[in-house]
Structure 1
Amino acid sequence: MKPIHQHLREFWWQDRSMVVLLVGLVVVIFIIYPMGGLGHTYAWLLQGCISVILIAGVVAVARTRVTAWLVAGVAVAGLASRWLVFLRPSPERVLTDAVLFALVLGVLAAVVLVQVFRAGPITAGRIVGAVVFYLLLGLMWANVYTIVVLVRSGAFQFPEAPRSANELVAQLIYFSFVTLTTTGYGDVLPLHPLARTLANLEALVGQLYPAILIARLVSLELMRRPPDQ
């Protein structure tokens, strides 16, 4: 009988794992966070469930025991911090949660990117993974913006001042994806130099990533073709 970590790794390396992550991210970004911003606290239960799915994926792809323990430690700490913020919110705990969750998202994004860019045939799972990485980037940057706002309260200008941490994160997720896609509505503005630098960097990555992705997929397809084609 295979151990559970081997089942998790086999599941992760199959295409359906990317679909699970994509669905989870869509639920978190477009349903749970907006509902949290409106004050529906039961959405945190769903967010916790999605976080467990993401953590399981991170742990499953750890190549060495040391890496597994490090990633698991960060992920568990991030999840514990998230629930602690829900039960006993405070500015310090919100800041800790943003830092840990940004770290977890960064690790997961790196793992997904390795799968998307690895050698091999172009599959539906690889394409879904490319979308997953894009969504992870936006969510990770939103958490980084949250850190900046919590450290410098006037770093961003909002149409209406956020009334809670949930509403703040919801507005910054909106700003993050507007910046990543270079839509730029201008209703949320970065004022602090660090916030502006991060926004510029996110916009740059949002432009470069699709171009690099297409170039990589084309090169993979050309490598698979016989020399005479």
Structure 2
Amino acid sequence: MSLNRFASLRWQAIARRHPSAFLLAVQLLSLVLYPLFDQVGGGRVVFGAFGVLALALAVWVVNRSPASTWIAWSLAVPAFVLSLLAVLVRSEALLVASSALEALLYFYAAGSLIAYMMSDHQVTADELYAAGATFTLLAWGFAYAFFVCQAWYPGSFAGAVEPARPRVWLELLFLSFTNLSAVGLGDVVPLGAAARVLVMLEQFAGVGYVAVVVSRLIGLTIVRAQER
């Protein structure tokens, strides 16, 4: 067996065992690369490509969890098609529609990963990766929800820089991460009623995630270490 063939099989085995790690890696890599392409004309297309890969990985992760895969595909396929059409025809309405479907997909994948982590009483390495992937899925899902809210209700968000203009994607994602992690840092604030409700729901989700899922994983890890 050649070295290339062996390496390919090895990566396939790792991918089957730890799909959540790949999803987490793609999400974090897109964050690192986005500022490099933010100011160029194709930046949004490049970020969209990472989004499509993340969507595929989200469906892959859902397939590992006790959830119906067809629901994930019914959200991922139209979201992918609409996002491509939005780029090709430069349609804001299609972009909003694809963002709404992506938000639903990310929430669905996050819920499925939570069910996967809560389904047994032993902590595996993939479940630890899933804990990080679930956090990013929730952050992305609420960011897309903020984007849709801003499109439906103009003026929903304001910022320290040019407060009257609509917030760009990275600003909304930054707001989502600060809310979900409860760090309280940020220069974007919700003004409209719908925006404030979304922010409060995300804050509740962030606190609940740490209190229920993360604390359970930590407790099971400690118990496992003590049994050894």
Q: What TM-score, normalized by structure 2, do the two folds share?
A: 0.78
What pairs with 1:90-109 in structure 2 (closer than 5 Å)?
90-109=91-110
Residue identity matched to 1:87: L
- Equivalent in the alignment of 1:172: 172
RMSD: 3.3
Counterpart CA distance in 1 for 2:87 and 2:163 is 17
Point out where structure 1 has 5 or more consecutive residues left out of the alignment. 1-9
What pairs with 1:129-208 in structure 2 (closer than 5 Å)?
129-161=130-162, 168-208=168-208
Closer/same/farther in 2, CA of residues 62 and 131 from structure 1, 3 Å limit: closer
2:168 counterpart SS class: helix
Q: Is the 8 A contact 1:78 1:100 kept in 2?
A: yes
Counterpart CA distance in 2 for 1:13 and 1:115 is 15
Counterpart CA distance in 1 for 2:60 and 2:94 is 24
Counterpart CA distance in 2 for 1:209 and 1:124 is 19
Counterpart CA distance in 2 for 1:60 and 1:82 is 21
Closer/same/farther in 2, CA of residues 46 and 220 from structure 1, 3 Å limit: same
Q: Is the 8 A contact 2:180 2:205 kept in 1?
A: yes
Q: Is the 8 A contact 1:159 1:188 kept in 2?
A: yes
- Equivalent in the alignment of 1:125: 126
Identical residues among aligned pairs (%)? 22
Q: Is the 8 A contact 1:116 1:126 kept in 2?
A: yes
Closer/same/farther in 2, CA of residues 168 and 75 from structure 1, 3 Å limit: same
Point out where structure 2 has 5 or more consecutive residues left out of the alignment. 1-12
Deviation at 1:52, TM superposition (A): 3.2
Closer/same/farther in 2, CA of residues 14 and 59 from structure 1, 3 Å limit: closer
Counterpart CA distance in 1 for 2:57 and 2:186 is 37
Task: Give yes or no for the alignment of 1:14 onto 2:20.
Answer: no
- Equivalent in the alignment of 2:81: 80
Deviation at 1:62, TM superposition (A): 4.4
Task: Give yes or no for the alignment of 1:28 onto 2:46.
Answer: no
- Equivalent in the alignment of 2:10: none
Closer/same/farther in 2, CA of residues 11 and 43 from structure 1, 3 Å limit: farther
Residue identity matched to 2:128: I
Closer/same/farther in 2, CA of residues 210 and 56 from structure 1, 3 Å limit: closer
Closer/same/farther in 2, CA of residues 185 and 56 from structure 1, 3 Å limit: closer
Residue identity matched to 1:124: A
Closer/same/farther in 2, CA of residues 35 and 148 from structure 1, 3 Å limit: farther
Deviation at 1:132, TM superposition (A): 0.8
Closer/same/farther in 2, CA of residues 96 and 13 from structure 1, 3 Å limit: same
- Equivalent in the alignment of 1:38: 39
Deviation by residue 1:8-45 (Cα, 9 ceiling, x = unmatched) = xx876622x1111111110223433x445434524524
